[in-house]
Amino acid sequence: MNGSWINVLLSCISIAVGIASGMRRVDSYAGYQVWRVVPSSNDQLKKLVNIGQEAELDFWRQPSTAGSPATFMVRPDQRSLLDTKLNDIGLEDYKIDLSDVQAVIADQMEANANVRKASRSAQRTVSTFDYSVYHPPSEVYEWMNMVVQEYNETATKHQIGVTYEGRPIYALTFKRASTQARPKIFIDALIHCREWITTASVIFMLKEMLTNPKYSHMMEDVDWYFVPMLNVDGYQETWTGDRLWRKTRSTGPSAECVGTDGNRNWDAFWSIVPGSSSDPCSSIYHGPTPASESEVRNLANYVLSFGDGYFDAYISTHSAAQMILYPYIYKENVTSKDDQALHEAAKLMSDAVRAVHGKEYVYGRGSTTIYPASATTTDWTYEVAKIVQSHTYELRDTGEYGHLLPPEQIIPNGEEYLEGIRALKDYVLQNFSG
Ligand code: 0X9
Ligand code: ZN
């Protein structure tokens, strides 16, 4: 083989490596790592963001303020270049949070599968369902059916539309017959499908609200609207293909890169950079047009079908940063007129969470608490749907496992979430004028 042939061969290999990595579908995370850096100045922060964009880094915890950690996944072929780049900007002290992502995935899949197999044989009702493991889409659908069958006096299931690949998206609502006007709270989960803890937490919380007398006041005081599993296509993908898939599964302008970041696709401050990306291969790709994604469009239409300001609060559930973030999120230094009330409610939630297992949840305006993100659910529910108490609620953890939170943490995390939402409900109820 002569030299030019070797070059052609080498470039073919690198193209192949490129396609099989980054924001492309990944079958195995062998050799992938999660790194953690703590930028100490705004200058370092900006440089880190630039490196992230150039290298199409998949941030698990976005670069935020100077002094707070950022974490991101590193492909095996990126390690040495990234090491050099981080050195160049004075971030040579990075830590490795996960040294072998695939090993963590494999362990958890196995542990989860074993427990699930054992609990499947038990009779399945809302109270005996196993909340301490993760459940695939088919079982979450099944769980929703159990809820509406067992609680048919208050619970209804409504199909709000279908996903890109045609899977139904459901809303579960819980309403008491009452002549009095009651506050209404809307909660969604799993717009980012790898954030398994979000759906697991919503279903655990609902079980407590339905079956635990200590929390029956939650059902009595407020009407609830839940979309527990939004990005079903992506969720299916995380169970059978790429465990760390984040986006939708729509095919857009790029044959090579699938999916849009649902949390950059809402029709409010759409496509503003640096809070999103126009690169279809980016993990924060905003999509070809606002609300291009079936999941986002259907949810938006459903929320708007009730009219402006119908809901008293809207929580969009994510992981993993332990944060409660409120508008505005799209751009730094823009304060909403409800800043004080949002801050007050976020503080109450954070305090309630801390009281359960001592976990610290940082709260604040999204853009400045973590890096700006444009066209997010929360800015849309605030700005367009006119829901004042709009928050992005980032569950555990802060990096140890990131989006691979072990099943043993589902219940403790769920207990915190339940208390956080309970505090929000109390706040909304106290301030409700009908
Ligand atoms: O980037 C996101 O969409 C959210 N984080 S996640 O790790 N779950 O993907 C945060 C969105 C809200 N916030 C700000 N960027 N401020
Ligand atoms: Zn998320």
Pocket test for ligand 1, best of 392, 401, 403 (most atoms within 8 A of CB): 392
Assign domain 106-430 to its CATH architecture. 3-Layer(aba) Sandwich (3.40)
Confidence (pTM): 0.93
| Nearest ligand to the CA atom of 326 | 1
pLDDT of residue 315: 99
Pocket test for ligand 1, best of 367, 370, 395 (most atoms within 8 A of CB): 370
Cβ–Cβ < 8 Å for 227, 160? yes
pLDDT of residue 9: 42
**Which atom of ligand 1 sits closest to the CA of residue 263?**
3
Residue 342, H or E segment = helix 339-357
The residue contributing the CA closest to ligand 1 atom 4 is: 318
| Nearest ligand to the CA atom of 402 | 1
pLDDT of residue 23: 66
Whole-angstrom Cα distance, residue 302 to residue 168?
Answer: 14
pLDDT of residue 123: 63
Q: How far is the CA of 175 from the centre of ligand 1 (A)?
A: 31
Assign domain 3-99 to its CATH architecture. 2-Layer Sandwich (3.30)
Q: Is 318 in the pocket of ligand 1 (CB under 6 A)?
A: yes
Q: Is 373 in the pocket of ligand 1 (CB under 6 A)?
A: yes
Whole-angstrom Cα distance, residue 373 to residue 263?
Answer: 8
pLDDT of residue 178: 79
pLDDT of residue 16: 35
Q: Is 367 in the pocket of ligand 1 (CB under 6 A)?
A: yes
Q: Is 325 in the pocket of ligand 1 (CB under 6 A)?
A: yes
Q: Would you state the structure tokens that stand for residue 331, as one six-digit string?
A: 């751009």
Just list the catalytic residues. 394
pLDDT of residue 333: 86
In the chain, which residues have pLDDT < 70? 1-23, 121-123, 253
pLDDT of residue 1: 38
Whole-angstrom Cα distance, residue 226 to residue 239?
Answer: 22
| Nearest ligand to the CA atom of 60 | 1
**Which atom of ligand 1 sits closest to the CA of residue 392?**
12
- 58, 59, 82, 259, 287 from 267: Cα distances, Å: 24, 23, 35, 17, 11
Domain boundaries, the chain: 3-99, 106-430
CA-based nearest residue to 76, from 42, 44, 29: 29
Q: Is 371 in the pocket of ligand 1 (CB under 6 A)?
A: yes
